[in-house]
Amino acid sequence: MSTADKQYLQLVKDILENGYYETGNRTGIPTYKLPHRMFQFNLEKEFPILTTKFVAFKTAVKELLWIYKDQSNDVKKLQEQNVHIWDEWMKEDGTIGTAYGWVVKEYNQIDNLIEGLKNDPQGRRHIMSLWQIPHLNGGTLHPCAFMTMWDVTDGRLNCMLVQR
């Protein structure tokens, strides 16, 4: 069993024993939650993909590339790749509004991050955020992944993802 699986199963147990039931979340699907838990992984040793539950890995990669590489909010681009995870939230114009890739592009976040890492590798302000308050209500869903924080230490790129 991988480190990711062990951490995941421990979190599930913790949520079931100590979490609380919430009905009014962003998707409308009732859930149990227990905020402020953290997973940590050394990507030189393993990639944190779960084996104890199904993970649509290719779909997840395509969605991440759609957000950060394409900097897109156009659901049709995902549909062309047989990815339908955003279909339910697609607006009449075929987008998800001012969310995810739209925010990355609007604030030039990729270029700013790369430039910052080049000029000040250990800086504490290398942050990308999908949570841009002026645009939250323009998106069909508020982002579940709030921000990433980056630095370079000992020649290695480090990233911390904060997700809700």
Under DSSP, is residue 54 helix (H, G, I), strand (E, B) or coil? coil
159 given a catalytic annotation: no
Q: Which of 1, 56, 60, 144 is catalytic?
A: 144
Q: Where in the sequence numbering do the catalytic residues fall?
A: 144
